[in-house]
Amino acid sequence: MELNLNMPPLVRYKIPIIGHTYSYLFNCEEFLKQCKKEYGGIYSLYIWGRVITIVGKEYTQEVLSKDDAFSFTAAFHKKFPSDLLLKGLSDTSIAKLLKEHVFCKLNFYSERMQKSLYSATQKYIDIGDYDESKVFNNMHHLITRIISNTIANIFIGEEESQYEEIITTFAEFTSDSVIFLMVPPILDFIYPGLQNYINRIIIKSGLYNPTIKHQAILIKHIKNQACKPNVLFLFIPLRTFAGLLKEVHIMEQYGFDSNNVNYSSLADKMGALIFVSVRTTSRNCTNALIDLASRPEYMQELYEEQLVVHKEADKNGILPFEALNEMKKLDSFIRESFRLTGFIAGLQHSVLKDYTFSNGLQVPNGHSVEIYFDDIHQDELLQGPNPKSFEPFRHVDANVPASKIGKNFILFGGGKHACPGRHFAINEIKFFMHNAILKYNFRTESGKIEEKKRIGPLTIPSSCGIIFEKRVK
């Protein structure tokens, strides 16, 4: 059937077997830019032993909106053996659960989020008796711990989040698990999918399963909470997981039957929540902090805004949930940091059925497509003048908050399958940055704009030194 389709053009390559893999990994930005120039908005590359179609700005919304034809989840499962690492996920839609029971009640978690963020920040970014300043290296590690404290507090309970072992599990669960994504799929050069097949054998045989140690810790602390009938917090989703009680008022009225719970299944579902929340939020928060540290000329303007916002805080320094809407310049800064996160391509989707794009080109069932981020996030028509330049307040007057998705901003995906946790994550980042800006002056140790570390088409935060000094009030 595939031979009869009007397939996207395959970019020429010189090296057999390797194809475009080297250029995609080590010169991705210039390589994809040249491919776009020569082949247009849709073309195919031969990477890691298989043909993948790159989709530009003109056709991205087709991929993101046609959920009957394209699936991010299916593509992810082809690369990552989540059904083996997290066996209890098969009967639960994590996205649906989060939408219905957590993210629609963000104001309910606002005070706890702030308290946890502020105490964790003081713990991990501790200047102590330093009169002038202190250098912190690898901010990504520190912020991951800070975010883990907060998410553990909200996902598993305030008391349990005081234990260092649960914070370690929240901080390390994803980084331990994604080794199956980080190891280059070299075996796929022999046969597409062979790498995932071998990974599954490794897990099934018991040779290596990074989630087992974390599952034991999660079960221990979930049990601790389940035995406390008056603790209501994330039992909203936990009890939904167990298939016991679906509405908060019913749960409160009848309590929670801790003798009728599959704790292994709950731990797997909690692991999925950790996987989709901690790593991405920590990365984006670290990027935002380093982007500001790299541009200290914007610190004073943001500081003045946060001073005004903080006038709404109570005697304990806790802001009302509505105060987030007043952080307009900070929100714009964060959106700009997201926009220029450095991701060149990503959001790979599997094709669920033969599909014809609006330009007549076709992709077959079982094929893979990938979104060309740079074609959107660095396009002048979509972003305005100087799209490659970091302009922190370009979004203030445009009335586009950091959480708003659209044709010109797809970091969180798009359509009805856009990341359901983006509002939650952005609230965390804004509360963290609000507190950090009020308490500290910070800048890069080098005094320069620090670039992110590139891994193929993706990036991770710089491990540069950041100088913190207590702000003199």
Q: Give the pLDDT confidence of 286-343 residue by residue, as tens digits.
A: 999 999 999 999 999 999 999 999 999 999 999 999 999 999 999 999 999 999 999 9
Mean pLDDT of the chain: 87
Whether residue 243 is predicted with pLDDT greater than 50 in this model: the reply is no
Place of tokens 């990974």: 199
Phi, psi dihedrals of residue 345, rounded to the nearest 5°: -150, 155
Whether residue 439 is predicted with pLDDT greater than 90 in this model: the reply is yes
Per this entry, what is the length of the chain?
473
Q: How buried is residue 472: exposed, middle or buried, by Cβ count under 10 Å (0-12/13-18/19+)?
A: exposed
Q: What is the pLDDT of residue 258?
A: 54
Q: What is the pLDDT of residue 288?
A: 98
3-class state of residue 179 by DSSP? helix
User: How far apart are alpha carbons 232 and 289 in whole angstroms?
Assistant: 33
User: How far apart are alpha carbons 99 and 189 in whole angstroms?
Assistant: 39
User: How far apart are alpha carbons 57 and 61 in whole angstroms?
Assistant: 8
User: DSSP states of 224-236 as a string?
Assistant: HHHT-TT--TTHH
DSSP secondary structure code for residue 449 in this structure: P
- Is the Cβ–Cβ distance between 236 and 101 less than 8 Å? yes
Largest CA distance in the chain: 72
- Is the Cβ–Cβ distance between 143 and 289 less than 8 Å? yes
Model pLDDT for residues 46-94, shown as the tens digit of each residue: 999 999 999 999 999 999 999 999 999 899 988 889 888 877 555 445 5
Q: What is the pLDDT of residue 239?
A: 40
Q: What is the pLDDT of residue 253?
A: 35
Whether residue 473 is predicted with pLDDT greater than 70 in this model: the reply is no
Taken in order of first residue, the domains within the chain and their CATH numbers are 2-470 (1.10.630.10)
Give the residue from 120, 24, 64 showing the smallest Cα distance to 344.
24
- Is the Cβ–Cβ distance between 366 and 436 less than 8 Å? no
The arithmetic mean of pLDDT across residues 363-388, rounded, is 96
Q: What is the pLDDT of residue 255?
A: 42
User: How far apart are alpha carbons 41 and 28 in whole angstroms?
Assistant: 16
Tell me the CA distances in angstroms from 78 to 237, 315, 321, 467, one per residue in order. Answer: 27, 51, 40, 42
Where residue 98 falls among pLDDT bands split at 50, 70, 90?
Answer: low
User: How far apart are alpha carbons 107 and 95 in whole angstroms?
Assistant: 19
- Is the Cβ–Cβ distance between 293 and 269 less than 8 Å? no
Where residue 402 falls among pLDDT bands split at 50, 70, 90?
Answer: very high
Q: Would the annotation count 419 as a binding residue?
A: yes
User: How far apart are alpha carbons 465 and 145 in whole angstroms?
Assistant: 17
Model pLDDT for residues 23-46, shown as the tens digit of each residue: 999 999 999 999 999 999 999 999
Q: At 210, list the tokens.
A: 């990074």
User: How far apart are alpha carbons 233 and 471 in whole angstroms?
Assistant: 35
DSSP secondary structure code for residue 8 in this structure: P
Give the residue from 239, 263, 173, 252 showing the smallest Cα distance to 210.
173
pTM of structure? 0.90
Half-sphere exposure of 290 (CA within 13 A, CB side): 31
DSSP secondary structure code for residue 437 in this structure: H
Q: At 446, list the tokens.
A: 């080098």
User: How far apart are alpha carbons 193 and 75 in whole angstroms?
Assistant: 11
Q: Using alpha carbons only, what angle is made at residue 216 by residues 224 and 141, rounded to the nearest 5 degrees?
A: 95
Rg over CA atoms, the chain: 23
User: How far apart are alpha carbons 199 and 209 in whole angstroms?
Assistant: 10
Where residue 231 falls among pLDDT bands split at 50, 70, 90?
Answer: very low
The arithmetic mean of pLDDT across residues 171-193, rounded, is 91
Name all contacts of 123-129 with Cβ < 8 Å and 24+ positions apart.
123/149, 125/436, 125/440, 125/468, 127/440, 127/468, 127/469, 127/470
Listed in sequence order, the DSSP H helices in 311-455 are 328-339, 374-377, 380-383, 422-439
Phi, psi dihedrals of residue 261, rounded to the nearest 5°: -130, 135
Whether residue 240 is predicted with pLDDT greater than 60 in this model: the reply is no
User: How far apart are alpha carbons 72 and 351 in whole angstroms?
Assistant: 9
Q: At 100, list the tokens.
A: 């219905």
Model pLDDT for residues 295-308, shown as the tens digit of each residue: 999 999 999 999 99
Whether residue 102 is predicted with pLDDT greater than 80 in this model: the reply is no
List the beta strands (DSSP E) in 3-125: 42-47, 50-55, 70-71
Q: At 338, list the tokens.
A: 């997201």
